[in-house]
Structure 1
């Protein structure tokens, strides 16, 4: 068959264009060290590489979030440590106030020092996060959590707990609400609280008590009243359950012996000293009380006159109540601090897992996208040789013409 000169030129040109395109593509692969230059090169691998790249970017963002979370939690931990130190100082002052040789002037000096500690404690509770927000205000980061009041301090925040996503399926709380740290403090021994009536005229001192049988607890309010009759004086006591209507007697006309354990309904405590006729003590379930209220009450107790045996007993009872509440407050702060420490430790584990994921993602992307350089160089040399041969053959063929022989 006869082939026209135009057809020969068109076919050769197309072939040279294809060869040049192939060698240009190989050169681009060598320059970028990527096997896939466009999704059309390998649609399946391109889609998979896009998924892996997105997962890798998310993992990088989680690493940034963990860095931010670690910074905030470290600040919270430092603040809680300061809170614990302040509470220890306040407890030490309360212990010093129990010195029987102190007079009103000495206790006034302690009360003044406690006022300074209370201001310091309020300042710590209102600590900011360095970005204009408050650590312990819950979701209301721009609201100062505590305002000073005559009875202690009032919480202005909410019960929320800000969290940050630090892994694909894990969020870490950045702080605790001020209510949980400074207000939700159980009074007494954590189960029940014992208190002396303010109108008592005797010299009896009640202990904090303990739980002797948890299964027998009722959670009721009890009142213990003393009766002193006869000559010589005989002291007895009666315990009434005031939760029932009408109140019912749990113990009636029991002989009083100083320091002897009094037990009923799973509760145990003792009373020391000499109660007066009509003196009463209450035993009630523990409640939640602000640490600021505890310190304010302690200051008021130190400034009250403690004259005579009854006044000293009243002061001792108030100091014992304050000590119990301060211990609970310190324990609560330590619990929150331990939780923060656990979250910091968890971030370390998540960092390690995130580093392993980055290695895995990088390996997967390398398998999907990276170029076999040795093979690509070999292909490039072969394509270069083929192109040069095609160009030389086309030059030779294009020079053939019948006019050369006429």
Structure 2
């Protein structure tokens, strides 16, 4: 086979260039520290590297979220701790206010501190995080959690309905705060105002702000008589559109009925309330108002006689705003409550042994009650006593017609009220379990209810703090798990993409030697010519 000079030189040149390319690649690997310089070098490894890098980046974001959630929960923990201190002080003041020797001026001094505690607690409930977001407002973090309702003067929750959550792992989320509604507002209550009900069931709920406001008012000898309130259960902050499908319903109070028709696009809850009130007859006891992010209908009549009922006529208003057709709310009376400690044996036998006792009202008016007949039922006994109280002008004293032990209640019209019972003759007081001179004042009842409700509010705060602590522990555990996962992933990534420098340097030296040999060979081959021997 004949080999031309040109071919021989080209073969040598190609060999030298191949060695240069190999050496250049190895040199580039050494300079970058990467095993594969392009995806074409190892497509499977390139895909694996991208997956690992994405996973590590996501886990890094999870770690950032954990830090953010921890900071927000620490702020909430501090807020809850401050709230507990406020309520403990409120309890001390409530107990102090029940001290009999205190004068009206003494109670007014206590009232001033209670008012300051109320403002402090509202400020705590509207605490912001480092980003200026309200931590107890849920998914409406740009809105203060609590604000005064201008219609009632009471604090209402106006935050969101959902807790905000942060992703801390691929399949795990943690709430970075609690809803103020659950922490401060939706607390159980034994207060008489909680006796106001819906569909015959007592509400038995009030916010801790209402509890402190009630205490403040009572210290000033003022009492807010509960009226009927029918509140929707749906979040309707942003209104409703009835332009395409009008809706209508009726509102029935204790003295009037109003027909309401809505057929426009209402862009806010305020607009809905305004439209409804514009259709209510002036002077009616019925009124629509906003309760945070929900609508409510109230009767301006106070006490147990107050009622409001909603009935669907057409359209979807009741469903949209969280009512059922026929829902009815009722108010409640406030007053001193005097209950015997013994169950009265029926039938009574006062025909042979009459009993006489005095009932004294807050005004000092006295009614002398004489029991001189037998009573087969508690209703009959209560009716006999009630008739004599009414005849004596004590219309603000009410006898429960079904309770046994028997109960006397003074009915307040917004000011102090009390009821006292005194023995004259006979056995009624001992039969019912009363002590002569025993009395019940509305203030005492209110203050004792406040004490119980403050304990309930403290339990709510304790539950929230327990939940916060559990979430902080979960963050610590997940952070450690994420850190280990990142280390493991980075190890796998290093094995996949990082260069083995010892092997690469050895290879570089070999390739460098091979290149030098190729270059020397090329020089020798290039000098092979017959002309050199002529």
Cα 1:2–1:128 shift into 2, 3 Å? same
The Cα of 1:232 is off from its aligned counterpart by: 3.5
Q: How does 1:228-247 map to 2 (within 5 A)?
A: 231-233=354-356
How does the TM-score come out when normalised to structure 1?
0.74
- Runs of at least 5 residues in structure 2 that lack an aligned partner in the other structure: 195-200, 205-331, 342-347, 359-375, 382-395, 404-412, 421-436
How far 1:159 moved relative to its partner? Answer: 1.5
1:349 to 467, 477, 486: 477
Aligned to 2:186: 184
Map Cα deviations across residues 269-303 of structure 1 (whole Å, 9 max, x no partner). Answer: xxxxxxx98444999xxxxxxxxxxxxxxxx99x8
Assess, with a 3 A threshold, how the Cα gap between structure 1 residues 30 and 199 changes in structure 2: closer, same or farther: closer
Distance between the aligned counterparts of 1:198 and 1:389, measured in 2? 109
Shift of 1:177: 1.5
Check whether the contact 1:203–1:312 (CA below 8 A) recurs between aligned residues: yes
Aligned equivalents of 1:357, 1:228: Cα separation in 2: 84
Of residues 446, 465, 470, the one that matches 1:318 is 446
Query: Does residue 11 in structure 1 map to residue 7 in structure 2?
Result: no
* Contact kept? 1:228, 1:234, Cα under 8 Å: no
Q: For residue 123 of structure 2, what is the aligned residue in structure 1?
A: 123
- Alignment pair present for 1:163 and 2:173: no
The verdict on how the C-alpha distance between 1:387 and 1:252 changes in structure 2, with shifts beyond 3 A counting, is farther
Tell me if 1:405 matches 2:510: no
Q: What SS does the aligned partner of 2:441 have?
A: helix
The runs of 5 or more residues in structure 1 that have no matched partner are 207-226, 236-250, 257-275, 284-299
**1:329 alignment counterpart:** 457
2: CA distance, partners of 1:279 / 1:97: 28
Q: Find the residue that maps to 1:165 and give its secondary structure.
A: strand
Give the 5 Å matches for 1:387-398: 387-398=515-526
* TM-score normalised by L of structure 2: 0.57
Q: Per the alignment, do residues 154 and 228 of structure 1 end up closer, same or farther by CA in structure 2, a change over 3 Å counting?
A: farther
Corresponding residue of 1:239: none
Aligned to 2:56: 56
The aligned runs of 1:177-256 (5 Å cut-off) are 177-188=179-190, 198-200=334-336, 203-204=338-339, 231-233=354-356, 253=378
**In 2, Cα distance between the equivalents of 1:102 and 1:282?**
36
Higher helix share: 1
Residue correspondence of structure 1 range 22-171 to structure 2 within 5 A: 22-149=22-149, 150-171=152-173
**Aligned twin of 1:222:** none
Q: Is the 8 A contact 1:16 1:387 kept in 2?
A: yes
Which residue matches 1:372? Answer: 500
Report the CA distance between 1:203 and its aligned residue: 4.8
Q: Could you tell me how far 1:313 is from its partner in structure 2?
A: 3.2
In the alignment, is the contact (CA less than 8 A) between 1:143 and 1:156 conserved in 2? yes
CA contact (8 A) 1:199 1:279 kept: no
Which of the numbers 360, 365, 370 marks the counterpart of 2:488? 360
Q: How many residues align?
A: 333
What root-mean-square deviation, in Å, do the aligned CA atoms of Structure 1 and Structure 2 show?
3.5
Q: How far apart in 2 are the matches of 1:282 and 1:157?
A: 42
Distance 1:7 1:72, change over 3 A: same
Structure with the bigger RCO (C-alpha within 8 Å, sep 6+) is 1
Q: Say if 2:9 and 2:525, in contact at 8 Å, map to a contact too.
A: no
Task: Report the more deviating stretch, 370-379 or 310-319.
Answer: 310-319
Q: Secondary structure at the match of 1:8?
A: helix
Does 1:172 pair with 2:174? yes
- 1:103 deviation in Å? 2.1
Q: Which stretch shifts more, 46-55 or 138-147?
A: 138-147
With over 3 angstroms needed to count, the CA separation of the structure-2 counterparts of 1:67 and 1:231, relative to structure 1, is same
Residue 394 of structure 1 and its aligned partner are, at CA, apart by 0.9
Q: Could you tell me how far 1:70 is from its partner in structure 2?
A: 0.6
2:512 is aligned with 1:384: yes
Give yes or no for the alignment of 1:20 onto 2:20: yes
Deviates most, 341-350 or 154-163: 154-163
Preserved contact between residue 166 and residue 173 of structure 2 (Cα < 8 Å): yes
Change beyond 3 A, Cα 1:21–1:120: same
Contact 1:172 1:343 in 2 (8 A): yes
TM-superposed CA distance for 1:204, in Å, is 4.4
Change (3 A) 1:282 1:10: farther
Instruction: Indicate the larger mover: 339-348 or 182-191.
Output: 182-191
Is 2:335–2:442's contact at 8 Å kept on the other side of the alignment? no
The change in CA–CA distance for 1:278 and 1:36 in structure 2 (over 3 A counts) is same
